[in-house]
Chains A and B, each alone.
Chain A
Amino acid sequence: MTSLQVDAMHVPIGRRSILQDISFRASSGELIGLVGPNGAGKSTLARAIAGLLPISSGQILVDGQCLRQLGPKASAKKIAYLAQGDSVHWPLSAYSIVSLGRAPHVGQFGGNSHIDEAAIARAMERAAVKDFVHRDVTQLSGGERARVLLARALAVEAPILIADEPVGALDPRHGLNIMSLLREEADQGALVITVIHDLALATRYCDRLIALREGELVGDGLPHEVLSPQGMALNYAVEGHHATHQGQAFVLPWRAL
């Protein structure tokens, strides 16, 4: 059981404070969506939790331990991070990319052990990228590449997975695939936090949404609570269409207010 605790966190970029007084707690098994309009600070929050940004005050605790004091390798074993976009800088094979997920576990000049190889195989199996093992990732379609990069993050086998807009540039089918995968990860005991713009996917797949506006946490709760008609109007200046399909509630942004 892993817990994440963010306490009164302020994140500056330069002299400007991008996130103010952010506090929440989360634990294993949750799929949390970070929602809010452009510029609200969703990606900044995801990056700060992943340890990529300095925080000016407050703290991030993983299992009661301060993230900053864990050190880079130990922290990398606790939190896997899937960056926004799908850039891979060299035409590497899918296997080479996924195996990089084991970097926190192997020594600097050591090769992969059988434990690492098993983790790589599991990650490729779960993300359904076994067909691409030796394929050049830069030549795969956007959706296929997104799955390979997600498999890379899964190969870390960290108890916490932070994904920064993993479905932002994907077609509906690949978007659904990625969200199903994140859901499965949470169901199997991981704490998954994802930045998400697609409110229909967010309401359908996430257990909980955290809404941000202008760097402040303005909503934290069940999807239908955070994206209530008042929440939609206040946070997005949008009227939403709330409905249910096959027993699952969802919301569609309907009209700009």
Chain B
Amino acid sequence: MNILSSPTAPVIKTVNQSALCLSLGALLLLLMLASLNFGYVDLSQTLLIRAAFGLADDPTNLIVQQLRMPRMLLAVMVGMSLGASGAVLQGLLHNPLAEPGTLGITGAASLGAVIAIYFGFVATMPLALPIFAMIGAAVATLILLLVARESGRTLTLILLGVGIGGISIALVSLAMNLSPNPWAVSEIAMWLLGSVRDRTFREVILAAPFIGVGLVMLLACAPSLNILSLGEDSARTLGLNIGKLRLLAIGGTSLAVGAGVAVSGSVGFVGLMMPHVIRPFVGNIPSRLILPSAIGGGALVLTADIAVRLIAVGPELQLGVLTSLVGTPFFLYLVFSLRKQMR
């Protein structure tokens, strides 16, 4: 066959995935050490390492083990959940603006958690908080998937996310409005701003199993997401079980994001930003995006959590406030750069 062609489309370059993950992992480790370093009390490196293993004096052991380590671990866990779920949701919905925050999943998880706090379930059963948050996240993800099957248009999904987020905020506001206790209102409001400050190992242990299982489920979506980039019909004729993929993605997102929100409140835009940062390094291949986005998400939240401690603005800036301040312009930039596709 004689085909005259001189391709002008750009060449797609990739980097070695193991090298990418190892570099991101090394960065994450450095940030974890840095996170232990920053606080109101200056500690030497030697003292820090000794305290991490409980070998320093009691107050130092307490500062490192009970304050800084849970904070550091939660930041990593929450960041990994958000990064991985953003990468999976973007692949599943074929939508570059999808992430737990823009799609209202974080908001719905917050609503679930607030219901657990408001009706006093948390007082009788601590597990009620992550469980209710995960149910909230699952309901939102299910609604999105049902609509995405009918109309997968970017704009429709984002507007639906705005709707789910709006209803969640309205109901959370209602709970705060009707709350008989002003301290509870203040507690809910601060928690909603998103933070990993003043957390203990209790929160880490509470969230870790759910986030762990959620991350495994999200990583298991990897090969199927590649096939899905051809569209649902072609993917099914290549033997893909789309029902199983949806179950893994919804389950994984609900567990990871729900448990993350339960212990840290709402930390937005990490799931949006990380996949976009990683995508050029992996040739846009959806399966190669999830693990680096998770590690990168952990690094990003940790960086933000270190930054809030370094930015001296009276009361410490809340983590969620900082990620929103950085993430919203990024979201708007994406909306403008993708506006042709969204029409």
**A residues neighboring B (CB under 8 Å):** 47, 50-52, 72-73, 75-77, 79-83, 85, 87-93, 96-97, 100-101, 103-104, 108-109, 128, 131-132, 134-140, 144, 147, 149, 152, 156, 177, 180-181
Contacts and interface: CB of A to CB of B under 8 A. Distances in A.
Interface of B: 1, 3, 5, 7-13, 91, 94, 222-224, 226-231, 233-234, 236-241, 283-286
A81 B231 contact: no
Given A128-B3, A131-B5, A135-B7, A92 B283 contact: yes
A72 B239 contact: yes
A72 B236 contact: yes
A144 B284 contact: no
B9 A51 contact: no
B290 to A, nearest CB: 13
A5 to B, nearest CB: 19
A120 B40 CA distance: 59
Contacts of A90: 91, 94, 229, 284-286
Chain B contact residues: over half helix, strand or loop, or mixed?
loop
Given A96-B283, A152-B230, A140 B7 contact: yes
A153 to B, nearest CB: 8
B284 A91 contact: yes
A108 B225 CA distance: 11
A135 B230 contact: no
Contact of B230 (A47, A51, A52, A97): A97
29 contacts: A51-B236, A52-B236, A76-B238, A76-B239, A80-B237, A81-B237, A88-B229, A90-B91, A90-B285, A91-B12, A91-B284, A100-B227, A100-B229, A101-B238, A103-B223, A103-B238, A128-B1, A128-B5, A131-B7, A132-B9, A134-B12, A135-B11, A135-B12, A136-B10, A136-B11, A137-B9, A140-B9, A144-B7, A149-B230
Given A97-B230, A128-B3, A136-B9, 14 more contacts: A73-B239, A79-B237, A89-B231, A90-B229, A90-B286, A91-B12, A92-B285, A96-B226, A103-B223, A108-B223, A134-B11, A134-B12, A139-B9, A144-B7
Which among A75, A134, A156 has the highest number of chain B CB atoms within 10 Å?
A134
A75 B231 contact: no
Contact of A72 (B7, B9, B13, B241): B241
A92 B284 contact: yes
Which among A89, A100, A149 has the highest number of chain B CB atoms within 10 Å?
A89
Contacts of B283: 92-93, 96
Given A52-B236, A76-B237, A103-B240, A144 B5 contact: yes
The 3 closest A-B pairs by CB, nearest first: A139-B9, A76-B239, A81-B237
Given A103-B227, A103-B239, A180-B1, A135 B9 contact: yes
A83 B235 CA distance: 10
A52 B239 CA distance: 11
Contacts of A76: 237-239
Contacts of B8: 139
Nearest to A147: B3
A88 B19 CA distance: 28
B239 A81 contact: no
Given A72-B241, A91-B284, A132 B7 contact: yes
B12 A136 contact: yes
A96 B285 contact: yes
Contacts of A147: 3
A128 B3 CA distance: 7
B218 to A, nearest CB: 14
Contacts of B5: 128, 131, 144
A108 B230 CA distance: 17
B7 A87 contact: no
Contacts of B1: 128, 177, 180-181
Which among B3, B8, B285 has the highest number of chain A CB atoms within 10 Å?
B3
Given A108-B223, A140-B7, A181-B1, A83 B231 contact: yes
